[in-house]
Structure 1
């Protein structure tokens, strides 16, 4: 028995809700899962769409791999970053 996780980078997203929410509540709800400051987002009463801002991936990929190595305690993961 073990714990399994999926970890990845969200390039774009779309969230729909069955009831209208104001912008403050949408941002609060989405920020529990994603950092909206990293995205260009459009909000409507029932939908939020976001796309990762230009340069965010490139600026943060090294830190992502570093954290992944810490989480998994597997230094071999660093090889993927160095080779790619």
Structure 2
């Protein structure tokens, strides 16, 4: 193993749905398995597929789900580029 994960405190899985779509399921599962049990894990996904739900079950403890409300109005001070 070329990377030591013993001191890892936070694991961030961004674009989890895309990683799974691209075929990285086995690699993600191996990474989660090798990480310390006492860590904070953040998983971000644009869509909640069955595969993402399985990854949540594998990698998160007491998950908190936050989602954007598409009916909410955009703040007038927000500039998007």
- Shorter-normalised TM range: under 0.3
Higher relative contact order (CA 8 A, sep 6+): 2
Query: Given the two structures, how large is their TM-score scaled by the length of structure 2?
Result: 0.27
**TM-score, L = length of structure 1:** 0.27
> Between Structure 1 and Structure 2, which shows a larger proportion of helix residues?
1
Q: Which one has a bigger Cα radius of gyration?
A: 1
Which structure shows the bigger proportion of residues in strand conformation? 1
